[in-house]
Amino acid sequence: MELNLHKIKILKIILLSLVVSHETLTKLDTRFYHSSCPSLQQITASVVASYIQQDPTAGAPLVRMFFHDCAVNGCDASVLIKSTPNNTAERDAIPNQTLRGFDIVDEIKSQLEAVCPGIVSCADIIAIAAKDAVFQQGGPDWIVELGRKDGVVSSAAEAEALLPSSHSNAATLVASFAALGLTSRDMVTLSGAHTFGRAHCTEVARRFYGYNSSNGMDPSLSVTYGQTLRSLCPQPLNPGSSVPLDPTTPNTFDEVYYSDLLQGKGLMSSDAALVADPHTARYVTEYSQSTDAFFNRFTAAMLKLGRVGVKLGSDGEVRRICSAVN
């Protein structure tokens, strides 16, 4: 009888250890690389800082990349995979053809492989780099949850079907984010990433040239701002020219983006849509009045976004090169 009780205790210990082990494989963990790659945070922050120092517009694309990755098959770095003769990958989808920051991710990966080879996933690098970009340009700081694995599937067709358009109205945006498990507040909050970065003139020119109105401008656009945009994007449009998403503090992560929206200075139709809908406009007003409210909500929304469709444990791989599956 004592022997049987002893065996039962041992079995309970084994089962408990298996449960704990399973939990570590099914949850993101802020200390995931604490022992296996302790220099991860320092290397990532250093590389991001070096690029921003060379180019103040380098940070915003990393946040955009994070969203474009997570919105298609979850946060699995599938957006980094290059196309092959047999597959057109997300990277070459129309919404992703203006993505930047691939070189930054590659540099971080290269340095990490030199000190802890085969340990850190490209998906986690994107998540950390996005956080560093926000913080280093004046935004909030937070501890990133880690442990994602890299996906092995990447489809341009899926990216084109799932990524929201810059011409979307509020209802369409809310629906797109709801499909990711994110609320309307999350959507307005994450749109605040447009507080820094740039957009190509060719993408936004329809709002201030040839619009079906008396002056050819979108009525939701401030006339003064529209005239400024015309001077920055003269016709014929240069495919390489761009304008700041936030005309007031273009390279600083702050709440001014929301104040701009209330003044008719939303660059994209999807920006202006946030104030056209009363349900989303209330969040715009709230954030325009409080940096703390925006920063706190943005941190929470980025953590929530970073949990979308993650691959953990044996589901996925750690790529040796971020642009290709192993």
Q: Which residues are catalytic?
A: 68
**Rounded distance between C-alpha atoms, residue 55 and residue 62, angstroms:** 13
Helix, coil or strand: residue 244: strand
Q: How many CB atoms lie within 10 A of CB 207?
A: 24
DSSP-based helix, strand, coil % in the chain, nearest 5: 55, 5, 40
* Residue whose structure tokens are 């570590």: 24
DSSP 145: P
User: Under a CB-based contact definition with an 8 Å cutoff, are residues 287 and 183 in contact?
Assistant: no
**Rounded distance between C-alpha atoms, residue 268 and residue 213, angstroms:** 17
Tokens standing for residue 290: 């409080």
Tokens standing for residue 9: 């205790």
Tokens standing for residue 17: 């250890």
Stated as kind and residue range, the H or E segment containing 243 is strand 242-244
**Rounded distance between C-alpha atoms, residue 203 and residue 241, angstroms:** 10
User: Under a CB-based contact definition with an 8 Å cutoff, are residues 43 and 108 in contact?
Assistant: yes
Residue 205: closest CA among 163, 260, 243, 169: 243
User: Under a CB-based contact definition with an 8 Å cutoff, are residues 80 and 124 in contact?
Assistant: no
Tokens standing for residue 284: 């715009």
* Residue whose structure tokens are 């390489």: 240
**What torsion, rounded to 10 degrees, do the Cα atoms 290, 295, 300, 304 define?**
110
